[in-house]
Structure 1
């Protein structure tokens, strides 16, 4: 017996569906199938929507992270540029002040940068990037850009030199009260950023807030460089000398740019 052809089977199936539809059987079947498949369709739709939202959220989060990283990088670059600009401004200000000091006083100076520090509770020494090749000699005065005495050259190399600051316990500077015509005493370092004005004769007027300057009796330290200001006077009528606590006006622990006064200038 020959096998029925596929088109014939399809035709019979369509005819059967048509008869079932005319008889009213297709509707309930369709509704049953719909009732069975609808929850699955809804679940699939919700899962798809959730996956879509998660993908969008991931994309948005990634974009937000990228923008945050870019902003952070820009802020870092801006901060670096700002610090560099401030450093250049400060250096330019210092150089202008040094130029004014040189013009006003007529001193010959060599500008120098502090490259190392060795500061303890007793000693205070910094290293600068100038040495014997630049005409630096032991005992020369080292001043800030405004001409305030910071210390004296302690030792030298060809390209570097050590500066002993005013607060170093070994430091001694012949000084006087501003306006006085002769030596008044000696400013001695006491460590921890402090100094005292000692060996001041009882006859020498000395009061709080007096400005102390160099006396000019040292070969390599010119006169009238500002040293500091009197904070307190210590005097006893029975002592031949009186002392004073001095506040050095140079920022000893924050020195960056200084000038070395050349002798004979």
Structure 2
């Protein structure tokens, strides 16, 4: 009870003192005292400002860093989205160019019936180069048909057909062999073969073959019609003592990046390759 009375007395004194100081401050009695107090505490205030201002600055910087990180993350997402849109537009543009080329080729040579198809899968390795297209037996495709680029350059042959899909062995596949001849040079020919690493060589080459010559299908054996462009001779290696020079060939079309191809429906091969892709 005594402790409670003392606490009540102390609280009452503090409240009364606060009221008194408030009244004196309002009437201006404490003005001189306040000036002395502020001058006395100014060094302490400066010290405290010097200590806490860097802390406040650091805390403010942390807040700005968080904002910058959020902004950076947002910009990365926007940049990725823009890059994806650009890539899609480039693919669409390439697709349009290939379709336009296919349409122009079909209109320019009405003697050949061609079927446009999309490349839906690629099976590429150092020894294998096979693509899958979205056309099959339902569209009139049969095994052994010739496949070209939209510009008319040889790409390969159909090796297996399903109702809605066909597998095409490209000329760079190591199992591919095409009888080829130099355009405009009688007696200059050989067997075009795919090599490991998806390169081309003209094996058993004979005749006057030079760098820059254009190779076309020879039309022998019944597997290909005559005159389909294949590639350009990029190198001829060997000496006069060699029975056959080593001829390297650069294909006319980019086999690994084409998205649209043409199946030559009007040519039915006489000799069909029985191997699976």
TM tier, smaller: 0.7 to 0.9
Cα 1:219–1:66, aligned 2, differ >3 Å: closer, same or farther?
same
TM-score under structure 1 length normalisation:
0.73
**Is 2:165 aligned against 1:160?**
yes
Indicate which of 148, 155, 159 corresponds to 1:150.
155
1:215-230 mapped onto 2 (5 Å cutoff)? 215-217=218-220, 219=222, 221-230=224-233
Query: Greater CA radius of gyration, 1 or 2?
Result: 1
Deviation string for 1:54-104 (max 9, x for gaps)?
A: 565455444433433333332222211111111111111111112222222
For the residues of structure 2 that align with 1:189 and 1:48, how far apart are their CA atoms? 76
Q: C-alpha root-mean-square deviation of aligned residues, in Å?
A: 3.7
For the residues of structure 2 that align with 1:235 and 1:129, how far apart are their CA atoms? 47
TM-score under structure 2 length normalisation:
0.70
For the residues of structure 2 that align with 1:46 and 1:238, how far apart are their CA atoms? 90
How many Å apart are 1:114 and its aligned residue? 2.3
Say how many residue pairs are matched.
242
How many Å apart are 1:120 and its aligned residue? 2.6
- Who is 2:3 aligned against? none
- Who is 2:76 aligned against? 72
How many Å apart are 1:110 and its aligned residue? 1.8
Deviation above 6 Å: which 4+ runs of structure 1?
29-32
Indicate which of 70, 74, 90 corresponds to 1:86.
90
Structure 2 unpaired stretches of 5+: 1-12, 25-30, 269-277
Structure 1 unpaired stretches of 5+: 1-5, 18-25
Cα 1:116–1:235, aligned 2, differ >3 Å: closer, same or farther?
farther
Cα 1:30–1:224, aligned 2, differ >3 Å: closer, same or farther?
closer
- Who is 1:20 aligned against? none
Matched position secondary structure for 1:252 = coil
Cα 1:175–1:105, aligned 2, differ >3 Å: closer, same or farther?
farther
